[in-house]
């Protein structure tokens, strides 16, 4: 089945640094999503990408949908302590047998030191 590989698995950074993480797939997705999950909470949608090559920003977050449709990356600029959490990428294909199903990566654990 489809699998998403996220890297790095964990990051330890200083407040104010920029962060970059990426996600690759063995197969094509036509939608990429990035979520953040805090302890004891469900994932919260950060950015949705619907078109190959698309670059989308949400405040200090920027994400891109790779042109091959098999990868995506997320950048966080000028990190702050509340950026701590687990970041997940997720892929989706409308229609066919994947109807309604998100495939998630394993997550990137982000720790920000003040």
Partner 1 sequence: DAGVTQSPTHLIKTRGQQVTLRCSPKSGHDTVSWYQQALGQGPQFIFQYYEEEERQRGNFPDRFSGHQFPNYSSELNVNALLLGDSALYLCASSLGTGPGELFFGEGSRLTVL
Nearer to partner 1 (CB atom), residue 42 or residue 59: 42
Give the full edge-to-edge strand order of the sheet including 55-58: 4-7, 19-25, 71-76, 61-65, 55-58
Q: Which stretch binds partner 1 (CB under 8 A): 14-22, 58-66, 74-82, 86-94?
A: 86-94
Show Cβ contacts of residue 100 under 8 Å, excluding neighbours closer than 6 positions: none
Contact between 100 and partner 1 by CB under 8 A: the answer reads yes
Q: Which residues between 17 and 46 bind partner 1 (CB under 8 A)?
A: 31, 33, 35, 40-45
Nearer to partner 1 (CB atom), residue 70 or residue 77: 70
Sign of CA dihedral 20, 25, 31, 34: negative
């Amino acid at each position: 089945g489809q699998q998403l590989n996220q890297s790095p698995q964990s990051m330890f950074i200083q407040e104010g640094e920029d962060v970059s993480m990426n996600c690759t797939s063995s197969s094509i997705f036509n939608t990429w999503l990035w979520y953040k999950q805090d302890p004891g909470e469900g994932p919260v949608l950060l950015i949705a990408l619907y078109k190959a090559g698309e670059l989308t920003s949400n405040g200090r977050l920027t994400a891109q949908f790779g042109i091959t449709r098999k990868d995506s990356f997320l950048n966080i600029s000028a990190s702050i302590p509340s950026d701590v959490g687990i970041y997940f990428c997720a892929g989706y294909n409308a229609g066919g047998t994947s109807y309604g199903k998100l495939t998630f990566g394993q997550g990137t654990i982000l720790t920000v030191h003040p």
